[in-house]
């Protein structure tokens, strides 16, 4: 949004946010596919003197793994601590996997702390994933970023309990749905009103204003008895403080 202009350039703004996130370390890790090659993960971990705890079972092409890898590295100018837990089930090429990874690094370029929790499946050769990330990025020459990110086709918030559960907020395939909201200050490029829009003090023929989807406009005073105006597609009508119609512009029937 342009500073002081009240103009919302939301499309460009969101595109910049998304592009920036996807090129940062936390965004790359959140949106990337989970590595399901257990043997390669173990070999790489052992090459870095990591601690590996691996439990697994296999029957033909059916396999199940639980893998925990803990890595600690301390050198002259950098340090890394990382712990990852991977839970994986597989039949042939079809895989279901969950990954919980925590990484803390400090080096000449700054300090980063990233925690990602991801779930994914590979079906018919296509990998689908969802997850969340919590990150603090303090990289040299850049502002410090503290960020929580989500990656999913559907983000659903539930409220209530028992038989009265409902979703007051959801993001489905890029669209945001909100059941009820209080907004202190809003800037909107375009809006579609499905029924009506009105002031929060509106009372019919008394105070406030209202515009409905049929094109009718009611304009009243701030308190009752100050006169009012009615506008529709046929006429403009003005009433005095006692409700008598004084002026009519348009259709007089």
Residue 190 maps to a domain: no
Residue 164 maps to a domain: no
Q: Is pLDDT at 236 greater than 90 in this prediction?
A: yes
Q: Is pLDDT at 248 greater than 70 in this prediction?
A: yes
Residue 154 neighbours by CB under 8 Å, 6+ apart: 170, 171, 172, 173
Residue 166 maps to a domain: no
Q: Mean pLDDT throughout 29-51?
A: 96
Residue 175 maps to a domain: no
Q: Is pLDDT at 3 greater than 50 in this prediction?
A: no
Q: Which of 85, 115, 150 is the last residue of a domain?
A: 150
Q: Is the same domain home to 143 and 26?
A: yes
Residue 179 maps to a domain: no
| Span 174-229, pLDDT tens digits | 999 999 999 999 888 888 889 999 999 999 989 999 999 988 999 998 888 889 99
Q: Is pLDDT at 33 greater than 60 in this prediction?
A: yes
Give the total number of structural domains in the chain.
2
Q: Is pLDDT at 148 greater than 70 in this prediction?
A: yes
Q: Is the same domain home to 94 and 36?
A: yes
pLDDT > 70: percent of the chain: 96
Residue 111 maps to a domain: yes
Q: What is the pLDDT of residue 8?
A: 66
Q: Is the same domain home to 57 and 131?
A: yes
Q: Is the same domain home to 228 and 144?
A: no
Q: Is pLDDT at 171 greater than 70 in this prediction?
A: yes
Domain with 212 in it: 196-250
Q: Is the same domain home to 144 and 208?
A: no
Residue 246 maps to a domain: yes
Q: Is the same domain home to 19 and 142?
A: yes
Residue 169 maps to a domain: no
5 confidence band (pLDDT: 50, 70, 90): low
Average pLDDT, the chain: 93
């Amino acid at each position: 949004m342009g500073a002081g202009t009240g103009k919302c350039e939301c499309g460009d703004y969101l595109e910049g946010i998304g592009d920036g996130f996807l090129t940062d370390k936390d965004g790359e890790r959140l949106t990337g596919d989970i590595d399901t090659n257990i043997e390669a993960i173990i070999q790489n971990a052992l090459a870095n003197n990591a601690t590996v705890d691996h439990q697994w079972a296999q029957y033909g092409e059916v396999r199940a793994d639980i893998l925990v890898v803990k890595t600690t590295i301390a050198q002259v100018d950098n340090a890394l601590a990382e712990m990852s837990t991977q839970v994986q089930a597989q039949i042939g090429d079809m895989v279901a996997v969950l990954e919980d990874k925590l990484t803390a690094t400090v080096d000449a370029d700054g300090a980063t702390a990233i925690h990602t929790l991801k779930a994914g499946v590979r079906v018919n050769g296509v990998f689908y994933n969802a997850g969340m990330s919590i990150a603090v990025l303090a990289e040299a020459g850049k502002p410090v970023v503290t960020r929580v990110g989500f990656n999913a086709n559907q983000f659903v918030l539930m409220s209530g309990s028992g038989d009265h559960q409902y979703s007051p907020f959801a993001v489905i395939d890029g669209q945001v749905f909100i059941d009820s909201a209080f907004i202190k200050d809003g800037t909107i490029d375009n809006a579609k009103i499905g029924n009506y829009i009105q002031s929060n003090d509106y009372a019919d023929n008394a105070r406030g204003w209202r515009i409905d989807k049929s094109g009718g406009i009611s304009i009243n005073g701030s308190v009752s008895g100050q006169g009012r105006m009615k506008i529709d597609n046929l006429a403009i009508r003005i009433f005095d403080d006692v409700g008598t119609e004084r002026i009519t512009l348009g259709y007089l029937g």
